[in-house]
Amino acid sequence: MPVPIDPAAHVAAAAPLVGLTLDAARQARVAAAFALVAQIAAPALAVPLAPADEPAPVFRP
């Protein structure tokens, strides 16, 4: 089961670690974008992978 993500807490903790100073309004916008990215990625992250699964060395559609 995936661990729930708190976008606001993540942004508040991560921004200083990468040298960003965000005011409250910008922090809220970044957290909203982060939440959207997490929502979009959720279906791909839900696909089970076996230990032997590896990415393709070259993508060919």
pTM of the model as a whole: 0.71
Task: Give the span between the Cα atoms of 49 and 9, in whole angstroms.
Answer: 28
Is the distance from CB of 34 to CB of 10 less than 8 angstroms? yes
In the chain, how many domains are there?
A: 1
Q: What is the pLDDT along the chain (61 residues), one digit of tens a residue?
A: 567 889 999 999 999 999 999 999 999 999 999 999 999 999 998 999 998 888 878 877 8
Query: Burial letters for 18-41: b for 16+ Cβ neighbours within 10 Å, e otherwise?
Result: eeeeeeeeebeebbeebbeeeeee
Give me the domain span that covers residue 8: 1-61
